[in-house]
Amino acid sequence: METPVLSPSVNRPMELNEDELLFRDTVRQFAEKEIAPLVRRMDEEQHFDPGLIRRLFELGLMGIEIPEALGGSGGTFFDALLAVEAISAVDPSVGVLVDVQNTLVINALLRWASEEQKRRYLPRLAGEMAGAYALSEASSGSDAFALQTRAEKRGQEYILNGRKLWITNANEAGLFIVFATVDPSAGYKGITAFLVEKGMAGFSVGRKEDKLGIRASSTCELILDGCVLPAAQMLGEIGKGYKIAIETLNEGRIGIGGQMVGLAEGAWAHAAAYAKERKQFGKPLVEFQAMQFQLAEMATEIEAARLMVYNAARLKDAGLSFRKEAAMCKYFASQVAERVASLAVEILGGAGFVRDYPVEKFYRDAKIGKIYEGTSFMQLAMIAKLTLGVG
């Protein structure tokens, strides 16, 4: 089944200016033309097509906020969000590759890297090097700062030992932002961030997870076994890793919100197209009022989620507080994505339950939205704290 075009009400939001609208439509056209034919094979084989990753770099989608002087596109955070949304409407696996690259890795370097680190890494991240963000461990998921990875200083070097789990982009990445503690007794104030390159002695990528959804996207274990890093590989200041993690994850949640909105848009478009084609009792499904109402309700929820995500991104670009809005949009968009994808499967009926149609993949892909970059419970806790003053 071809990737259908979204309806005008979903596809042409009035709050986008002409440049933003052109950019998003261009990315969506690229996704429909070059990503859509690869989706099923990449999902089944559980890895990205190497040629596709090269195209993402060639089009500037892997370095959207990097200044043009350093080889990037010189765009905004909102531009990165639009790209994630547009790509995720075709394949959320590719959407999260672009999302982690832009909203986590590049954002962290733009804000916290030294000038020398920016000159060394940002041109490569814009041109050929994917990045990954390594915070989670077996004992630190929602409790992100319970991490056990150690960084021991020896002279002008740090020796890292530990294991990271569930690291997105691990197989594709050449650069990893790794969080480790230099002083366990200091609690979260001992956490420090380091820039680790693939191929460094004592560092390796371990087992790849066999996942329910976003299967083309690699999620792997990282092993640090006496990994020796020059002190110059520290990102930011010693003991400030918690601040880097908090700030970048707040931004990353908006990106995941964008991924989930795109996913919901894609699932809705397939469901609407099928309802127009499929006939029962002598007329298309879409002519039944019950079907019209269901699709209308889905479209309304998508619109609400999208506006929440856009608002959070606009606040971020304006330099205003956005923590509450980031938590809300990530929470709500993930709820909407799962609901819309589930209903899309039901609208297609038996066809929705098989892999000949894309909606079963959207349904599988949607579940992770409630889990990574802060579970739904963690988002609710944040929202309660910022609205009620509790916690």
* pLDDT, one tens digit for every residue, the chain (391 residues): 455 645 434 444 557 899 999 999 999 999 999 999 999 999 999 999 999 999 999 999 999 999 999 999 999 999 999 999 999 999 999 999 999 999 999 999 999 999 999 999 999 999 999 999 999 999 887 787 789 999 999 999 999 999 999 999 999 999 999 999 999 999 999 999 999 999 999 999 999 999 999 999 999 999 999 999 999 999 999 999 999 999 999 999 999 999 999 999 999 999 999 999 999 999 999 999 999 999 999 999 999 999 999 999 999 999 999 999 999 999 999 999 999 999 999 999 999 999 999 999 999 999 999 999 999 999 999 999 999 998 7
Q: Residues 251, 366: one domain?
A: yes
C-alpha distance from residue 100 to each of 62, 72, 80 (Å): 9, 16, 10
Phi and psi for 213 in degrees, rounded to 5?
-130, -175
The single residue listed with the structure tokens 């993949």 is: 361
What confidence score (pLDDT) does residue 6 get? 52
CB atoms within 10 A of CB 189: 17
The pair of structure tokens assigned to 174 is 């050449």
Between CA 194 and CA 179 the distance in angstroms is 6
What confidence score (pLDDT) does residue 106 get? 98
Residue of 65, 265, 360, 373 marked catalytic: 373
The count of structural domains within the chain is 3
At 208 the three-state DSSP class reads: strand
Q: Is 373 a catalytic residue?
A: yes
- Helix 359-366, helix 92-99: angle, nearest 10: 40
Q: Residues 263, 374: one domain?
A: yes
CA-angle at 138, arms to 333 and 227, nearest 5°: 115
What confidence score (pLDDT) does residue 10 get? 47
Query: Residue ranges of the alpha helices (H) in the chain?
Result: 8-11, 18-30, 39-45, 50-58, 77-88, 92-99, 107-112, 115-127, 241-277, 289-317, 323-348, 359-366, 376-388
Of 92, 109, 129, which residue sits at a domain end?
Answer: 129
CB atoms within 10 A of CB 120: 15
Between CA 52 and CA 43 the distance in angstroms is 14
One-letter identity of residue 380: L
Q: Residues 331, 249: one domain?
A: yes
Nearest to 56 by CA among 131, 4, 116, 109: 131
What confidence score (pLDDT) does residue 139 get? 85
Q: Residues 49, 102: one domain?
A: yes
What confidence score (pLDDT) does residue 142 get? 76
The pair of structure tokens assigned to 93 is 């696996």
Between CA 374 and CA 381 the distance in angstroms is 10
Between CA 63 and CA 87 the distance in angstroms is 15
Between CA 360 and CA 371 the distance in angstroms is 19
Nearest to 363 by CA among 345, 375, 379: 345
The single residue listed with the structure tokens 């079907």 is: 291
Q: Residues 231, 295: one domain?
A: no
Between CA 126 and CA 113 the distance in angstroms is 15
CATH number at residue 221: 2.40.110.10
One-letter identity of residue 304: A
In this prediction the pTM is: 0.94
At 284 the three-state DSSP class reads: strand
What confidence score (pLDDT) does residue 2 get? 52
Q: Is residue 79 part of a domain?
A: yes
CATH number at residue 44: 1.10.540.10
CB atoms within 10 A of CB 26: 14
Q: Residues 256, 214: one domain?
A: no
Nearest to 357 by CA among 42, 3, 5: 3
Q: Residues 251, 173: one domain?
A: no
Q: Is residue 3 part of a domain?
A: no
Q: Residues 209, 254: one domain?
A: no
Nearest to 39 by CA among 342, 270, 345, 331: 270
Domain span holding position 99: 8-129
* Bridge-based pairing state of the strands 173-181 and 130-134: parallel
Counted residue by residue, the chain has a size of: 391
C-alpha distance from residue 251 to each of 14, 43, 81, 343, 367 (Å): 24, 27, 10, 29, 20
The pair of structure tokens assigned to 211 is 């996942």
Of 223, 239, 255, which residue sits at a domain end?
Answer: 239
Nearest to 3 by CA among 102, 121, 90: 90
